[in-house]
Structure 1
């Protein structure tokens, strides 16, 4: 069960709140076209409002925030807001949202939630629940998805359709094979509808299915764990045509001089001071994006997302890399030449703090748009506790303040690295 978060807001922040409420930093922009040239890489612009809409595929990311974090750090100079409207067990008709009374129906609430979010971009993650109906439910699913896409078009938003994920384990091989065959059938249907309507489609089924035996992406075989969402974020980035988040940085020492590799495939390195004869180097690495923080149990995803640093030509010995007088990693000359995965340091500390802010913001939003005691506050018994609805709206102040904090911390901070020969 999610716990409520109560934040104390310093009085000095009130001006910031008012600016964010009235300013244009987070204003909605209307896309020139609902559809976009699919051959172009996906892009978010300042003013975009991104909504994740679907079942538990999106709701479960409330625990980790990887999807929002990935897109936030991809365009750190742009003001983009995110809202997660995922609802466990939901389908394209919003059946799982029938928690207040009837009317409004779950479908009415689904329409209300989308409209109120004022999206410019919508990631749709449906099909996993509907696939349980088998072939017989396919026509109904297509009808519901069509109406949902019509609604998103009507709102002037771009839709990106995401396939369901496979079942990763089941009681029997026969059950696993049967269920996944139907999920793949629904995924193919979503892909075809996306093509017919000129929408982007992201197939996450096949990439996850391909690695399910080697990567521990789920605890129960149905829902993704932390490593699963880390991996899902990288799948989305690649499928949307985004360049690699991290490029290897290479420095080569030749006698008494040091040179940094250049080119499109290498991270720009600027040498500041060198004493190549002693193996002492001072340099910066141009990092356009913050890295994605690795899961706590990173063994299943290896070092995906880490910065690779290669330093060739060092004399035999042990060398330590530091920044801001803090040790990042220590390794031998042969290990540096082979390439070291930088998986800790200031950039990872910064992005974990950013991830924490995103989780706080999303937790507040979760309880705002689907609060506990919904029936008493917003539903048929609102005559008893409906006065608390005002308090829900006031949480927007804190949410916007947190979005301001996220904006201040999503840009990579410059740092100077020092390599020192220890022995």
Structure 2
């Protein structure tokens, strides 16, 4: 233990020193406010376990994997694992988790699921179900959310609170307005609690409402479709302060020379205004867009090449043709939306979906009552099989760790003759 030397001093000076030390200790020990928390850059460290906890907003992403894909590709060199504990129809008291076996109650199962996941960070998304109880349900919701945050604190994990999403379609305009008014009320209550407890709060209500004016995000007005989850992932990225995935690359060519600006490197000595060979240092894999999503500025790798001779130029990536554009179009900048990295991230997404399928049926098997419940005397022998799925889950997580890292690709631009 470090030794501290105390010098003799007059009583008044000693009192002042003790007072200042006390004030400093209080300042250091108090929780950060939400404003202060958001000033600290969001980061995931080695060994982190991220848990998505809530209702169908999280559970339905089991079909798409966008939330995990977005975050796992942001830290390709770090050992970060994910668990989705979303449960359709659930509230802060775990009512939807109830089974025929009772006890445990739904709330006890919620606590068990959360504890067993061993989280270091929990995205908490509730309020969508509770808002149906109107203003009268707010006190119970606030109490339940506070207890849930207490539990997360006890587990030594951080929590990020997420607002409910809006209803995007209803039987009538009046019904839509009424239901969304309650959702906004509950979103405000969540934001207030986040501020009081020094937690970060992410508002998805307004962004989803705005984006829905440009494209359909649900099939029924309530549950997000694939496009909706792609947009939700990008909303979370922006809210967490994560910047663009790519940096524009600019290449200026001459008759026998070429200069590069951005994370690219010319290969060989034969680069001219007719032929170029180069690599791009990709920090992150791209986030693949659903087929019905219109690309926005900034999506894809922007490649601008000036000084080319007139004509059309073909770009290949690892010897696979990607696109062809005119010298004028290359000079204005072309967005690369195909290539090896896109194939790699699609395969990575499939690994995430398979891993999450295994976890889903492990922690909530369809015949829970017969395997883990009061009728386990009939099929309880299968409980061992559920635990053994952890081996496959761990193996897939290892494959995800290897494949989330961008690989160096060789780009070649050549004049078509």
Q: Does TM-score exceed 0.5, indicating one fold?
A: yes
Provide the C-alpha distance between the structure 1 equivalents of 2:367 and 2:298, rounded to a whole number of angstroms: 42
1:324 and 2:318 aligned = yes
Q: Which residue number in structure 2 is paired with residue 217 of structure 1?
A: 217
Between 246-255 and 61-70, the greater mean CA deviation after superposition: 246-255
From 357, 362, 376, the equivalent of 2:356 is: 362
Describe the shift of the 1:411–1:65 C-alpha distance in structure 2 as closer, same or farther (beyond 3 A). same
State the SS of the aligned residue for 2:133.
Answer: helix
Match of 1:412 in 2: 406
What is the TM-score with the length of structure 2 in the denominator? 0.89
Question: Match for 1:279 among 253, 274, 282?
Answer: 274
Corresponding position of 1:27? none
- Which residue of 1 is the match for residue 12 of structure 2? none
**Alpha-carbon distance in 1 for matches of 2:129, 2:41:** 30
How far apart are the structure 2 equivalents of 1:249 and 1:221? 40
The match for 1:349 is 343
Give me the whole-angstrom Cα distance separating, in 2, the residues matched to 1:412 and 1:277.
Answer: 28
Alignment of 1:17-416 (within 5 A): 37-262=37-262, 268-273=263-268, 277-299=272-294, 302=296, 305-416=299-410
How far, CA to CA, are the matches of 1:242 and 1:251 in structure 2?
26
Offset at 1:102? 1.8
Q: Rate the CA distance shift 1:422–1:394 in 2: closer, same or farther, 3 A.
A: same
Give distance in 2, aligned partners of 1:305 and 1:230.
13
Contact 2:254 2:273 survives alignment (8 Å): no
The C-alpha deviation readout for 1:195-214, integer Å capped at 9, x for no partner, is 11011111111111112110
* Alpha-carbon RMSD: 1.8
What SS does the aligned partner of 1:298 have?
coil
Give the superposition deviation at 1:37: 3.9
CA contact 1:230–1:294 (8 Å) conserved in 2: yes
1:348-368 Cα deviation digits (max 9, x unpaired): 000111100000000000000
Give SS of 2:328's match.
helix
Q: 5+ residue gaps in structure 1?
A: 1-31, 263-267
CA contact (8 A) 1:273 1:281 kept: no
Alpha-carbon shift at residue 120 of structure 1 (Å): 0.5
Give the conservation status (yes or no) of the 8 Å contact 1:217–1:227: yes
Note the residue ranges of structure 2 that are not aligned, 5 or more in a row: 1-28
| 1:274–1:282 CA contact under 8 A, matched in 2 | no
Structure-2 change in CA distance of 1:397 and 1:34 (3 Å): farther
- The answer to whether the 8 Å contact 2:31/2:197 transfers is no
The 3-state SS of whatever aligns with 2:164 is coil
Greater gyration radius: 2
The number of residues matched between the two structures is 386
Deviations 1:256-310 (A, max 9, x none): 4322224xxxxx11122465654211111110000011113233x5576411111
Q: Is the 8 A contact 2:194 2:200 kept in 1?
A: yes
Cα distance, 1:315 vs. partner? 2.0
**SS, match of residue 38 in structure 1:** helix
Asked if the contact 1:167/1:176 (under 8 Å) is kept, the reply is yes
SS of 2:346's partner is helix
For 1:33 and 1:62, locate their aligned partners in 2 and report how far apart those are by CA, in whole Å. Answer: 37
Contact 1:167 / 1:179 at 8 angstroms: preserved in 2? yes
Measured after TM superposition, the shift of residue 68 of structure 1 is 0.5
Deviation of 1:33 (Å): 11
